[in-house]
Structure 1
Amino acid sequence: MDDTPTDAEVACFEAGIKFGSLYHQFAGTPVSPESAPSLETAMEESIENQPHCTEVSVDVKTDALAAALEDAAADYTELTGRFLEVEIVVEYEGQEVLTRMAMEDGYPLMQVVSVRGPDE
């Protein structure tokens, strides 16, 4: 039995590493509706630096931020998964993996959306 991971499995693993890095690096960052665009850019550009990462799209949900701040004493809050929608594309040895993070049942769920090989 060959336990060597397939190229598709390695690509999925790489995508998981990118999501772990993105989420745990930026969770807790102070954010406001005004600072959200610059934070989106910083998150995208930092993760795109990683090997095999070809595209990162981060959307900080400013409407949700504004709603969370309506009754708050401060004019910022800490970044959590409930304020984020993220897509990451990883390519490894001809395999392209599209991953996405969105809230599901109150939890920021990170999932593989698709895996495509060179012939697909």
Structure 2
Amino acid sequence: MNDIINDRDNALFEAGIKLGALYHQFTGSPVNLRTVKSLETAIQESISVQPFVKDISVYIDRDIIRSKINGEFGYCELEGRMLDVKITIEHNSIRADVSLAFNQELDYPLMKIDKIYSSDLS
């Protein structure tokens, strides 16, 4: 039965795990305009050490932070709608580009597969 599961399946599974872990680990983190860059870096570095991650970029929307900052305490909490994340996963011969970005139409931080290809052909 193991021959039914292939590199593509494993690459996509790993990609989903990375995006889900990132989302649930970091949403709710305190952030303001002074700390946003260091939070982006922390997220990137945390996820980049996990198996099969070849590349990751994290952007947190500063405009949303500005609009959400609590005037008394000077920070807000990281929300899924603030995140724009791109990850490349490589499992053996397969690369998967995946992302997390806020979808306005769905009003939801959507995770999706952007591209799947053989790394032998890249």
SS for the counterpart of 1:46 is helix
Residues of 2 paired with 1:119 and 1:77: CA distance?
44
Residue 79 of structure 1 deviates from its aligned partner by 0.6
Aligned to 1:42: 42
Q: Is 2:82 the partner of 1:80?
A: no
Aligned to 2:10: 10
Residue 72 of structure 1 deviates from its aligned partner by 4.2
Residues of 2 paired with 1:2 and 1:44: CA distance?
33
Residues of 2 paired with 1:2 and 1:119: CA distance?
25
Aligned to 2:116: 115
Residue 25 of structure 1 deviates from its aligned partner by 0.8
The two structures have a TM-score, normalised by structure 1, of: 0.91
Give the paired residue count: 119
Residues of 1 paired with 2:2 and 2:68: CA distance?
51
Identity of aligned residues (%): 39
Residues of 2 paired with 1:78 and 1:49: CA distance?
25
SS for the counterpart of 2:121 is coil
The two structures have a TM-score, normalised by structure 2, of: 0.90
Aligned to 1:58: 58
Residue 2 of structure 1 deviates from its aligned partner by 6.6
Aligned partner letter, 2:83? L
Q: How far does the alpha carbon of each residue in 1:13-46 deviate from its partner, in whole angstroms, 9 at most, with x for none?
A: 0000101111111111001111000000000000
Residues of 1 paired with 2:90 and 2:2: CA distance?
23
Note the residue ranges of structure 1 that are not aligned, 5 or more in a row. none
Q: How far does the alpha carbon of each residue in 1:25-75 deviate from its partner, in whole angstroms, 9 at most, with x for none?
A: 111100111100000000000000100001110001111111222x74331
Residues of 2 paired with 1:96 and 1:30: CA distance?
33
Residues of 2 paired with 1:84 and 1:114: CA distance?
19
Tell me which stretches of 4 or more aligned residues in structure 1 moved more than 2 Å: 1-4, 71-74
